[in-house]
Amino acid sequence: MAEMVVEGAVTLNVEGAFYNPRMRLNRDLGVAMVRALGISDYLDALAASGARGLRVAKEAGAAAVALNDVSPRAVALIRENARLNGLVGCEVLSSNANVLLHQRRFEAVDLDPFGSPAPFLAAAARSALDYLFITATDTAPLCGAHLKSGIRKYMAVPVKAEHHREMGARILLGAAARELARVDKGVRPLLTHATDHYVRVYLGIAKGAKSADRALESMGYLEQCRSCGLWRTVSGVGCPSSGKCSFCGGRAEVAGPLWLGPIQDPGVIGRALAAMEGSAARSDRGVRLLQACADEIDLPMYYDHHRLCRRFKATPGTASDLVEELRSLGWSASRTHFSGVGVKTDAPIEVLREVLTAPPPRSGARGGSSSHGP
């Protein structure tokens, strides 16, 4: 008996095929991004039931949508679901994804594998002409919980830390940037988010060796201290680390190579928000997530507010209070979607300690001092 589900504007038979309802938000945002970017030629390289690719065809207005899966059962189901939704113009392919990606080129390539996208990155970098979208559900290797696995898959050291979710996203971005650079393509992150059990990135591609060289300028390393929580970024493909924290003198660990450049494009995200309004892809959670990504200041990593308070033996306030206090002192600061207690800021850790340990202001007096500004 068929197992039918409705998602967005499509009805799907998912009997016998991999279909994860927890990834609906991921697909909602994917549809909005395809609409926002005006993509007309799109490949769902690992299509399974076809939910992602068929929704793009039905809801995003892409003129040419191809869906591929190596499983004959999945391909039969995709064809059935395409007919069921009146999408007979979709191209349904049955191929090893890497073979297909080496053989053909597409305006946009979408990788949504079960597990790590690492085995498909090289082929996808060759195939994608203008856009590459990637989902990674292997967050333990990406974020440092399974260190050796992360090194093998992404050729980077993902040190486990309080900002592990953002580190995982930047490790993935760095791996994609390196693969694209090998085929003389540069990259510009448009939207990056870590949600539930996965990391998702949307990349714009610029052709040419010079574009690749510019993209590699955003690669680098993160040097961080376990003792005091200080970190600093080191740009470049080589990392001249002293191994010693400049704040407390503790031992500094090095993570990377990873992406240190911008990871959000507020203009594109704004268009995705507009594309969501009134569409079948709209969800309150999706709108909140996109808005949070657009509002983040685009600096690498974030502080865990609770850990800062424990580290400095400070009475905890709220992360939002800390953001406002830093802004009042002239520093850039914001919350982050990566963590409910995360704070992004360009203020040095000395300033954070001063703000968090300062005595409360007298009644009617304004706390802080503008002399701490940059």
Instruction: State pLDDT tens for residues 165-208.
Output: 999 999 999 999 999 999 999 999 999 999 999 999 999 999 99
DSSP 283-312: -HHHHHHHHHHHHS---S--EEHHHHHHHT
Smallest CA-to-CA distance from 140 within 129, 128, 152 is with 152
Sequence ranges of the binding site for Zn(2+): 225, 228, 239, 248
Q: What count of other Cβ atoms lies within 10 Å of the Cβ of residue 364?
A: 5
315 and 199: one domain? no
Structure tokens at 199: 């990391």
Residue 163 contacts residue 302 (beta carbons within 8 Å): yes
| Average pLDDT, rounded, for the chain | 92
Sequence ranges of the binding site: 27, 52, 69, 97, 225, 228, 239, 248
143 and 59: one domain? yes
Distance between CA atoms of 348 and 346, rounded to whole angstroms? 6
Residue 285 lies in a domain: yes
Which of 83-92, 186-195, 336-345, 362-371 is the least confident region? 362-371
Confidence of residue 349 (pLDDT cuts 50, 70, 90): very high
Residue 171 contacts residue 150 (beta carbons within 8 Å): yes
Residue 194 lies in a domain: yes
**pLDDT over threshold 80, residue 368:** no
* Domain boundaries, position 190: 4-216+260-295
Q: Tally the C-alpha atoms within 13 A of residue 79's C-alpha that lie toward its C-beta.
A: 9
70 and 104: one domain? yes
Mean pLDDT of 212-227: 92
Residue 258 contacts residue 168 (beta carbons within 8 Å): no
| 231-235: strand order across its sheet | 231-235, 219-225, 252-259
Reported as a single tens digit per residue, the pLDDT across 227-271 is 888 888 989 877 777 788 888 889 888 899 999 999 999 999 999
**Phi/psi of residue 228, each to 5°?**
-110, -10
Residue 369 lies in a domain: no
**Phi/psi of residue 129, each to 5°?**
-90, -45
Domain count, the chain: 2
Residue 313 lies in a domain: yes
Residue 366 contacts residue 222 (beta carbons within 8 Å): no
120 and 188: one domain? yes
Q: What is the CATH number of the domain that holds 344?
A: 3.30.56.70
Sequence ranges of the binding site for S-adenosyl-L-methionine: 27, 52, 69, 97
Structure tokens at 358: 């300062």
Distance between CA atoms of 44 and 15, rounded to whole angstroms? 20
Structure tokens at 313: 């033996």
Length of the chain: 374
338 and 278: one domain? no
Structure tokens at 361: 């202001």
Confidence of residue 361 (pLDDT cuts 50, 70, 90): low
117 and 171: one domain? yes
> What is the structure's pLDDT at 79?
97
* Torsion angle of C-alpha atoms 160, 120, 209, 108, degrees rounded to 10: -110
Angle at 358 between CA 354 and CA 361, to 5 degrees: 140
> What is the structure's pLDDT at 366?
40
* Torsion angle of C-alpha atoms 281, 284, 287, 291, degrees rounded to 10: -170
Residue 247 lies in a domain: no
pTM equals: 0.88
Q: What is the CATH number of the domain that holds 54?
A: 3.40.50.150
Mean pLDDT of 46-74: 96
**pLDDT over threshold 80, residue 374:** no
Reported as a single tens digit per residue, the pLDDT across 14-38 is 987 788 999 999 999 999 999 999 9
Angle at 282 between CA 265 and CA 37, to 5 degrees: 35
Residue 247, C-beta contacts closer than 8 angstroms, at least 6 positions apart: 225, 228, 230, 349, 350
273 and 309: one domain? no
Distance between CA atoms of 167 and 169, rounded to whole angstroms? 5
177 and 142: one domain? yes
Residue 124 contacts residue 175 (beta carbons within 8 Å): no
146 and 289: one domain? yes
DSSP 140-162: HHHHTTTHHHHHHHHSSB----T
Single-letter amino acid code for the residue at 13: N
> What is the structure's pLDDT at 236?
85
Structure tokens at 362: 């007298």
